[in-house]
Amino acid sequence: MLETSLKLLKKIENHGFKAYIVGGFVRDYLLNRPSLDVDIATSATPMDIKRIFKDIFIPKVEYGSVTVFYHNIRFEITTFRRELSYINNRKPIEFEYIDDLYEDLQRRDFIINTICMNSDGEIIDLLNGKNDLDKKEINTVGDSYKKFAEDSLRILRAIRFATILDFKLSDEIKDAIKLTKHNLSSLSYQRKKEELNKIFSSKNARYGISLLQELELDKELELYNLEDITLNVDIIGTWASLNISENYPFSRNERELIKKIREAVTKDNLNNEVLYQYGLYVNSIAGAMKGIDKKKITKKYEELPITNIQDINISGDEIMHILNKKGGPYLKSIYGDLVSLILNGKIENDNNLLKNYVVNNY
Ligand code: ATP
Ligand code: MG
């Protein structure tokens, strides 16, 4: 990844522009952490980049940067810029391209995100970001209050980086968040959810949650019972444990899943009928919320005599034939009885036994 990135920098430089790796990749490289994609800061404009990478250029509306897939790696290429004005405490609406890296770094959020690497692989650290990495502390580039007032997403990014990297937030950041947190109400729920997902799925999630509570962001984010959160390897289980605003975006499937998990958590997840009704996945999540070992639930589930209605060893035709009746809603009710009897061990799932049962009881 590093080699390919340096090659890409050289390619841009060969066209007469400056180019540096910046942000997450360099930060994570110095911390020995893996990165998924690479951010590039360059004096080349999106049009220049388009010319340099003819067929692999994807313009991005958001933040005016472009994405290039180069040797299967995702590069986010952003032109050096100065930001002039913001709208709704988010997203600059006006910016101008500039030719200077140092100035470009001024618009960035945190000092740890300003460390660069040049095309020779050398670290260019104009704002002394390494010092913050050593101290394990997050500081804003310039005045914290101003940074958070300009863009409230930065509040959540601060918590996210602190959580994932296990870093402290500077006192100035904490004070500024307290003064600007009300602006979170105008941040889109999609953005809030993305950042919260990253915080909740971190192995340091507990620390992130304690920061959200300490800075009283939970109410601001309409997370009404953050104190009750149960962290689940499956993020949907984590969301199911939270009482949140209806505005958070979830697909229909996810909403249904959340509803089922919330129901299942009130039941005995080792009970055969509950296992049958909600299935292994939902019961595992609900069980995890109550500290029930997943292996125990899986074992119980695998021992179920039936896991769905097709497993019952008597067909609808057979029942109709025995009762000498046409099909109708009564079949569903018989099957319901049989499911319950089989799951409770009252009758074996055996064709002859089931036929006899139907003959004698209906
Ligand atoms: P990661 O990619 O690991 O989530 P990152 O630091 O690379 O972290 P990106 O969202 O990829 O974050 O952004 C790349 C860089 O752009 C950041 O390091 C930062 O310098 C700058 N940046 C991103 N979002 C903002 C913002 N909202 N305000 C100011 N600067 C930002
Ligand atoms: Mg990045």
| Residue of 29, 38, 87, 113 with the most ligand 1 atoms within 8 Å of its CB, for mutation | 113
The predicted model scores a pTM of 0.88
- Residue 335, CA distances (Å) to 119, 310, 311, 320, 362 in order: 70, 10, 11, 12, 12
- What's the confidence (pLDDT) of residue 47? 87
The mean-pLDDT minimum among 37-46, 53-62, 331-340 falls in: 53-62
pLDDT for residue 190 is more than 60: yes
Over residues 153-179, the mean pLDDT reads: 98
Spell out which residues have Cβ within 5 A of ligand 2, the ion: 24, 39
pLDDT for residue 41 is more than 80: yes
- What's the confidence (pLDDT) of residue 62? 55
Considering only CA atoms, which residue is closest to atom 15 of ligand 1?
23
| Residue of 79, 95, 107, 109 with the most ligand 1 atoms within 8 Å of its CB, for mutation | 109
- Please give the Cα distance from 151 to 90 (Å, whole number): 4
Ligand 1: which atom is nearest the Cα of residue 164? 3
Q: How remote is the CA of residue 75 from the centroid of ligand 2, in Å? A: 9
Q: How remote is the CA of residue 249 from the centroid of ligand 1, in Å? A: 23
pLDDT for residue 61 is more than 60: no
- What's the confidence (pLDDT) of residue 96? 81
- What's the confidence (pLDDT) of residue 328? 92
| Ligand whose nearest atom lies closest to the CA of 157 | 1
| Ligand whose nearest atom lies closest to the CA of 138 | 1
Over residues 254-259, the mean pLDDT reads: 96
pLDDT for residue 346 is more than 60: yes
- What's the confidence (pLDDT) of residue 97? 84
- What's the confidence (pLDDT) of residue 65? 82
Give the angle 279-281-284 at the CA atoms, nearest 5°: 105
Ligand 1: which atom is nearest the Cα of residue 27? 6
Query: Which residues form the pocket of ligand 1, taking CB atoms under 6 Å from any ligand atom?
Result: 23-24, 39, 108-109, 113, 151, 153-154
pLDDT tens sequence across 66-99: 999 999 999 999 999 988 776 666 666 678 888 8
pLDDT tens sequence across 194-226: 999 999 999 999 999 999 999 999 999 999 999
Q: How remote is the CA of residue 110 from the centroid of ligand 1, in Å? A: 9
| Ligand whose nearest atom lies closest to the CA of 38 | 2
What percent of the chain is predicted at pLDDT more than 90? 88
What percent of the chain is predicted at pLDDT more than 70? 95
pLDDT for residue 185 is more than 70: yes
- What's the confidence (pLDDT) of residue 60? 63
Residues 6+ apart with CB under 8 A from 156: 184, 187, 191, 192, 195, 196, 199
Considering only CA atoms, which residue is closest to atom 12 of ligand 1?
24
Binned at pLDDT 50, 70 and 90, residue 35 comes out as: very high
Ligand 1: which atom is nearest the Cα of residue 78? 16
Q: Considering the chain, what is the average pLDDT of its residues?
A: 94
Considering only CA atoms, which residue is closest to atom 2 of ligand 1?
24
Considering only CA atoms, which residue is closest to atom 18 of ligand 1?
23
Domain annotation for the chain: domains and CATH numbers: 1-135 (3.30.460.10), 136-221 (1.10.110.30), 253-302 (no CATH), 310-361 (1.10.246)
pLDDT tens sequence across 264-322: 999 999 999 999 999 999 999 999 999 999 999 999 999 999 999 999 999 999 999 99
Question: What are the CB-based long-range contacts (under 8 Å, 24+) for 292-297?
Answer: 296/270, 297/269, 297/270
Ligand 1: which atom is nearest the Cα of residue 25? 7
Side chain identity, residue 298:
T
Q: How remote is the CA of residue 93 from the centroid of ligand 2, in Å? A: 21
Considering only CA atoms, which residue is closest to atom 13 of ligand 1?
23
CB count within 10 Å of CB 230 equals: 16
Q: How remote is the CA of residue 298 from the centroid of ligand 1, in Å? A: 41
